[in-house]
Amino acid sequence: MNVKKIPSWVQRPDPMSDSLLSIDPPLILNSDEHFMREALRMARKAARLDEVPIGAVIVHQGRVIARAWNQVETLKDATAHAEMLALTQAESALEDWRLADCDLYVTKEPCPMCAGAIVHCRVRRVIYGCPDVKGGAAGGFWNLLQAPNLNHRCEITPGVLGDECVGILKEFFAEARRRKAEGLPHKKGAAIDATSNTPSFDGP
């Protein structure tokens, strides 16, 4: 067996050198931040449709099986929160109402309605971006997700990309206040194309 000799002028890297220690960490495509960025993408869709910008995704075995954004004004349905729509999608994808092996990512802490539905669906873990101290039901005001008298309790991971999640909400409501101060009408729901009478959307 012929072993090729390495020339003496070839420098072997020092495993403890600063150049190796400063290498950026690899991009992890199944991390909490990765999936929360997908939820943020859904929230931005909501903002473009003049909906309160909240987005949610549901992950099963490392794969996104449901994506949704707030559609209360578009659908004229008070229950059409991002989490509720995502839960329905996930149930359909798995053909089961039990989502015991699923994780739900949402840009804002779930409200009591959504938290109740999450518990009923047996979601394993809830990961949210920014807290809602006035009405959140994942520990911000109440903690329905871990209520001891209920037959299911979810794991909770708060604060993932929290600054980005709260930032998009602040921008949305700042714009709403500006329009109100200027006497402009409050925009609600998707813009309607006068020719097609269907919601128009400019892409992700």
* CA-to-CA dists, residue 24 to 14, 49, 61, 186, 197, angstroms: 17, 37, 27, 45, 49
Tokens at 29, concatenated: 């495509």
- Which positions are annotated as active-site residues? 83
Tokens at 57, concatenated: 């995704």
Task: Name the residue among 142, 139, 81 with its Cα closest to residue 114.
Answer: 81
Contact present, 69 and 82 (Cβ < 8 Å): yes
Q: Mark out the alpha helices in the chain (DSSP H runs).
A: 18-21, 32-48, 72-75, 82-94, 112-120, 162-181
| Separation CA 147–CA 41 (nearest Å) | 31
* CA-to-CA dists, residue 171 to 44, 99, 111, 189, angstroms: 11, 33, 21, 17
Contact present, 64 and 58 (Cβ < 8 Å): yes
Query: Can you give the length of the chain in residues?
Result: 204
